[in-house]
Amino acid sequence: MKTTIKAALWLAANLLVTSVVAQPSPKSQPRMNPPQTDKIVLYQIYTRLFGNLNSTNKFYGTRDENGTGKFNDITDKALKELKKFGISHVWYTGVIEHATMTDYSAYGIPKDNPYVVKGIAGSPYAIKDYYDVNPDLAVDVRNRMAEFEALVARSHKANLKVIIDFVPNHVARQYKSDMKPAGVKDFGEGDKVEEAFNPQNNFYYLPNRKFLVPDNVPVPPGISTFPYEEYPAKATGNDVFSAKPSINDWFETVKLNYGVDYLNNRSRHFDPIPSTWLKMRDILLYWAAKGVDGFRCDMAEMVPFEFWGWVIPEVKKVNPAVIFIAEIYNPAEYRNYLFNGKFDYLYDKVGLYDSLRRLMEGHGHTADITRVWQQESGDFANRMLRFLENHDEHRIASKYFAKNPFYAIPAMVVSATLHTGPLMLYFGQEVGVTPTIAEGFSGEDGRTTMFDYWGVPEYQAWVNGGKFDGGKLNEDQQKLRKFYADLLKLINKSDAIQNGAFYDLQYANNNGQSAGYNDAKHYVYLRHSDKQKLLIVCNFDLYNGAQTTVKIPAHAWETMGLSATGKYTLTEIFNHPQTLTVEAAQGVPVSMSENSVRIFEIKTSK
């Protein structure tokens, strides 16, 4: 979940660095219980959509009309194919029970008021019960937790790690846990509701004021309505302290109180430990005990870093291998949340994603890539999660983004190989999912719906009736998926990419130093370890190829432990089969087609 408040978080996001000497990025500071490798490959599955083979796709269709995927649809075969594809971790999005317009009251689950739910299916980030799973995802609703636990077991059997969302900043307005363990107090239970702020309250209150639903909240046809009552009003999830938030706010959620007094200069009250901290620790331990291997923490920077610095070690005392990934949009806070908050990984959205997006759209400058590692994440690049799609962002192939899924080729290679850190794909990215019609609440916006029941045609073609063999993919979709499969195979077997250092070669080739080299559209760098040396050349120009000679300066050769006067063989290992023999001082002649990548392995010539 995100909002437009992130847009102003970092003023320098568009700065360009045009001529600087690149040095290999040092490893980040050691952290408690580091993962075995940082080059994990995370695959985000929108669980409600993954296995849904219903192709009705009616605007604002109900669960029974449009269908919904189940935990059981993610079969042994599906997981085996994901592992074969090159995935190491699966992020199951939308697992924990959230508010919905679908009525499950027959199963003892209270009905939600449609005026505080977004979409018929509801947002997975409006949590209704932290101790339960989404009943939509169960074949047998009464057996829903067992079905989730079986999915965890299947995932582990396939040698895949399981990630789920942890949503710490806010809950659904009608939050009520029916499945909490005995003795656990619910959120808000015992709050002093007459106090706007109390460090031990779980919520922020607007005493003596009634909550008012925003104007023009859309309610789908056929959904019965009834008045929504909330008194006193609670603050809304995106830090809105108004009894009547706007339709553009996270009006369906309530902000949780971690001991920060937002209306009093954000003063902090962490001693004694706030009630919300203790409740959240217990929730994380509950899911970790079910075999969950990690948490993608929604809008982590809206929760004080002090909480994370306390709770992450608390969880890792019980299971040191659990990983924590922060959704974060403010580079000024990166170090804080890594080294004080103790996160394992952070989203690299406003840095690398935004830079690559501009290039994929035909504008932007490759100097932005240099700026990212130099100014934002150079000494902890191994802990930045790189991606080109997720549930919040436009699909690459949509008219709001690149319009062509193949325009992702250079950007995806850079995302995967720039450093030793993790990579993420969103389900269907590899087959070019292209949303073109309105599904419901969010309208036609170039994203796969978060809020409504839907079938994803391109992904259904890969699922192929449960065979998970891509049997219904067209030729272009097969070609695109092969590119992703080949890239994942490369990064999973390459020692230089898994473990090696990085060297930016822009400074040696830009500003006319290399004939035919377009320093706005071309990007070239080395990845090197003791076992392997790679030269990676990317052409982001969507329309023009190029012929150039890439210069590798003496310092770069020496940094790789090679002679700057030696003779070397360069073998293309990713795309075009080609072998070159070059003198180090003369550079590397490279021919590039438009929108392409060349990856050469460097070896001493015999």
pLDDT at 22 over 90: no
- Looking at the structure, do residues 356 and 488 belong to the same domain, yes or no? yes
Average pLDDT over residues 383-388: 98
Count how many domains the chain has. Answer: 2
CA distance 418 to 382: 9
Does pLDDT of 21 surpass 50? no
* Cross-strand partners of 528: 501, 533
Mean pLDDT of 577-606: 95
What mean pLDDT comes out for the span 94-111? 97
Do residues 353 and 486 both lie within one domain? yes
According to the model, what pLDDT value does residue 2 have?
56
Is 583 found in the same domain as 472?
no
- Domain presence at residue 200: no
Mind listing the pLDDT tens digit for each residue in 66-88? 999 999 999 999 999 999 999 99
Q: What is the pLDDT of residue 272?
A: 98
Q: What integer pLDDT is reported at residue 9 of this predicted model?
A: 34
Joined together, the tokens standing for residue 601 give 């392995």
CATH of the domain at 507: 2.60.40.1180
Whether the per-residue pLDDT at 29 is higher than 70: the answer is no
Asked whether residue 473 falls in the same domain as residue 539, the answer is no
**Of 17-31, 177-191, 211-225, 334-348, minimum mean pLDDT range:** 17-31
The CA radius of gyration of the chain, in Å to the nearest whole number, is 25
Each residue's pLDDT tens digit, 289-339: 999 999 999 999 999 999 999 999 999 999 999 999 999 999 999 999 999
Asked if residue 521 belongs to a domain, the reply is: yes
> In this model, does residue 17 exceed pLDDT 90?
no
Residue 36's pLDDT is 80
Decide which of 492, 525, 550 is a domain's last residue. 492
Q: 435, 470, 492: which is the final residue of a domain? A: 492
* Core vs surface per residue 25-55: b (16+ CB within 10 A) or e: beebeebeeebeebbbbbbbbbbbbbbbebe
Which helix H or strand E contains 535, and what residues bound it?
A: strand 533-539
Both 511 and 488 in one domain: the answer is: no
pLDDT for position 263: 94
Once rounded to an integer, what is the mean pLDDT over residues 435-457? Answer: 97
469-510 pLDDT, tens digit each: 999 999 999 999 999 999 999 999 999 999 999 999 999 999
Same domain, 449 and 411: yes
Q: Same structural domain for residues 535 and 556?
A: yes
Confidence of residue 35 (pLDDT cuts 50, 70, 90): confident
Provide the pLDDT for residue 258: 98
Binned at pLDDT 50, 70 and 90, residue 1 comes out as low
**8 in a structural domain:** no
pLDDT of residue 421: 97
Q: Report the alpha-carbon distance of residue 368 to residue 377 in Å, rounded.
A: 13
pLDDT given at position 28: 53
Identify whether 295 is part of a domain. Answer: no
Residue 411 belongs to a domain = yes
Q: Which among 522, 577, 589, 594 has a CA at the least distance from the CA of 552? A: 589
Q: What is the mean pLDDT of residues 89-107?
A: 98
Q: How far apart are CA 418 and CA 378, in angstroms?
A: 11
Q: What is the pLDDT of residue 31?
A: 79
Q: What is the pLDDT of residue 6?
A: 38
| Within a domain: 444 | yes
CA distance 509 to 128: 55
Helix (H) or strand (E) holding 492: helix 475-493
Give percent of the chain above pLDDT 70. Answer: 95
| Residue 311, domain member (yes or no) | no
| pLDDT of 600 strictly over 50 | yes
DSSP 240: B
Are residues 431 and 527 both part of a single domain? no
Angle between helices 475-493 and 409-417 (to 10 degrees): 20
Region 2-7: mean pLDDT is 42
Categorize the per-residue pLDDT at 577 as very low, low, confident or very high, splitting at 50, 70 and 90: confident
Average pLDDT, the chain: 94
User: Higher-confidence residue: 8 or 375?
Assistant: 375
Pairing of strands 41-46, 89-93: parallel
Same domain, yes or no: 549 and 478: no
> Over the range 182-221, which residues count as b (16 or more CB within 10 Å of their CB) and which as e?
eeeebbbeebebeebbbbbbbbbbbeeeebebbeebeebe
Q: Supply the CATH number for residue 392's domain.
A: 3.20.20.80
User: Given 426, 460, 492, which residue is the final one in a domain?
Assistant: 492
Domain residues for the domain of 360 are 349-492
Question: Is the Cβ–Cβ distance between 49 and 540 less than 8 Å?
Answer: no
Q: Is the pLDDT of residue 24 over 70?
A: no
pLDDT band at 3 (very low <50, low <70, confident <90, very high): very low
Assigned domain for 259 exists? no
The pLDDT confidence band at residue 37, using thresholds 50, 70 and 90, is: confident
Are residue 360 and residue 447 in the same domain, yes or no? yes
Domain co-membership, 428 together with 448: yes
The answer to whether residues 445 and 379 belong to one domain is: yes
- Say what the pLDDT of residue 255 is: 98
Tens-place pLDDT, residues 501-556: 999 999 999 999 999 999 999 999 999 999 999 999 999 999 999 999 999 999 99
Res 8 pLDDT > 50:
no
Is residue 238 within 8 A of residue 125, CB to CB? The reply is no
* DSSP secondary structure code for residue 183 in this structure: T
pTM of the full structure: 0.95
Mean per-residue pLDDT, 25-45: 79
